[in-house]
Amino acid sequence: MEFLQANLDYLVLGTLGLMSFIMLALVIERYLYLNRVKVQQFDHIETLKIDLTRNLTTISSIGSNAPYVGLLGTVLGILVTFYTMGQGGKIEVHTIMLGLALALKATAAGLLVAIPAILFYNGLLRKVEVLTARWQAWKDGKGA
């Protein structure tokens, strides 16, 4: 329990920081790729979709799982607070409130990672839909 008490912030916030870094790197890569891709170079719609949607699953997974990582940090923080209360003998409201407030920061951090990830994912998905529609319009115009 002492290990958890000493390292909980580092574990949870470190995990969320890593998730955030990965998400931002993939978002930047996707935006750069989607802005320079030439849909006319693809012969088949499925090949186009595979290239356009690469890494979107990871971005979506980070967005959907970051709140759970934050929630896990909150639950573990509350567990540590209650454990510390049980070990101390006397209960001080100040100590309890401080422990609970620190535990809740993990949930806030999880949401701070998840919300932008889902917004970026939705924006990228819209761009994929537009590029797919442009390919279809190009293919229809070429065949006519």
Give the model's pLDDT for residue 50.
96
CB 141 within 8 A of CB 40: no
Q: Tell me the pLDDT band of 144, cut-offs 50, 70 and 90.
A: very low
Query: Tokens 């802005």 correspond to what residue?
Result: 35
Rounded average pLDDT over 23-41: 96
pLDDT in tens, 71-94: 999 999 898 888 888 887 677 788
- Global confidence as pTM: 0.86
Give the model's pLDDT for residue 51.
96
Please state, in angstroms and rounded to a whole number, the distance separating the CA atoms of residues 8 and 79: 11
Q: Which residue has the higher pLDDT, 61 or 99?
A: 61
Q: State percent of the chain over pLDDT 90.
A: 69
Cα dihedral sign, 115-120-123-129 = negative
- The average confidence (pLDDT) of the chain is 91
Q: Which is nearest to 68 in space by CA: 101, 122, 109?
A: 109
Please state, in angstroms and rounded to a whole number, the distance separating the CA atoms of residues 122 and 125: 5
Q: How many CA atoms, within 13 angstroms, populate the side-chain half-sphere of residue 35? A: 7
pLDDT in tens, 91-127: 778 878 887 888 899 999 999 999 999 999 999 999 9
CB 31 within 8 A of CB 125: no
Please state, in angstroms and rounded to a whole number, the distance separating the CA atoms of residues 25 and 114: 15
pLDDT in tens, 38-47: 999 999 999 9
Give the model's pLDDT for residue 81.
84
